[in-house]
Copies of this chain bind each other. A is one copy, B any other.
Amino acid sequence: MSSLLELRHLRTLTALRDAGNLSRAAELLNLTQSALSHQIKLLESVYGGVLFERKSTPPRFTAIGARLLELSDLLLPRVDAAELDLARLAAGTAGQLRIAVECHTCFDWLMPAMDAFRDRWPEVEMDIVSGFNPDPVGLIHQDRADFAVISEPDDIVRGVDFHPLFRFEIVAILARGHSLVDKPWLEAADFAGETLITYPVSDEMLDVVRQVLIPAGITVQRRSTELTVALLQLVASGRGIAALPLWAVKSYLDRGYVRSCPIGPGGLHGSLYGACASQLSTSPYVTDFVRLMRENCFLSLPGITLL
């Protein structure tokens, strides 16, 4: 009888457009692909026609789908703004967010997320805490930071909550003519005798070292540099190999500047979590920050998976 269209459906439509396909859209919305498929099927039966062409990537929307999408674009930002206002009404707008970061590459996506956050919560004071800290969770305990981006949630820590962010693959980066380049994957032994080119951080903060080389009892020479480009230049010119997040080097790989190779049969993966004092953890601006990071990253970093 009366309309059964709900915001949920519009959220699905925009997620579909933004994510590029139903499965990714489902991941973005924390639902299953099946759920979205059913949702869309329902809409299609109500409006008497398909909403988008299934085979094409990115999805091509029909007139019906496009009209609904147009509606979504009109509505969802308003809803978001209203909920932001309501969150402010409930909890006030002030606060601080001192962010500690453990990993180098994080800045690539953290900055855009912080920019988006600043737009939404202008009154929250944001800071990056010092350089790269080996124990960011410690900083939270000492109340020297409010939020930390870390790679593995330490065992359950009293008073600190962990928010899963995303998971990504770490690949070995090789010069184009490198002898290992045609292996289906690299094993620990392949690193022996190579120079490992890294960011200037301590051993235990490098996933390859911690998860691959140390378990295999292999030590390698290290050479370090600050910038990703510089690091890749060293690899490309044959000074050694690197191990970096796939998303961080994807564009160089696509252009053929360097080559990549999975590490281990299933690939080597890293995960990122946000850590935060339990009391702050439920504050609207923190949950909003976490959401922003997840969504921004999922849409902008290729090949990552939400946790």
Contacts and interface: CB of A to CB of B under 8 A. Distances in A.
Interface of A: 1-3, 5-8, 29-30, 47-49, 63-64, 67-68, 70-71, 74-75, 78-79, 82-83, 85-86, 89-90, 291
B2 A90 contact: no
A71 B79 contact: yes
Contact of A49 (B1, B83, B90): B90
Q: Do most interface residues of chain A lie in helix, strand or loop, or is the interface mixed? A: helix
A75 B67 contact: no
B64 A71 contact: no
A74 B71 CA distance: 12
Contact of A6 (B8, B48, B64): B8
Given A8-B6, A30-B2, A47 B78 contact: no
A7 B29 CA distance: 18
Contacts of A82: 67-68, 70-71
A30 B49 contact: no
Given A6-B6, A7-B6, A29-B2, A79 B86 contact: no
A3 B75 CA distance: 14
A67 to B, nearest CB: 6
A86 B66 CA distance: 10
Given A2-B30, A3-B79, A67 B49 contact: no
A154 B82 CA distance: 50
B74 A86 contact: no
Which 10 residue pairs are nearest across A and B when measured between Cβ atoms? A71-B82, A48-B90, A6-B6, A47-B86, A6-B7, A75-B75, A74-B78, A67-B85, A7-B7, A3-B83
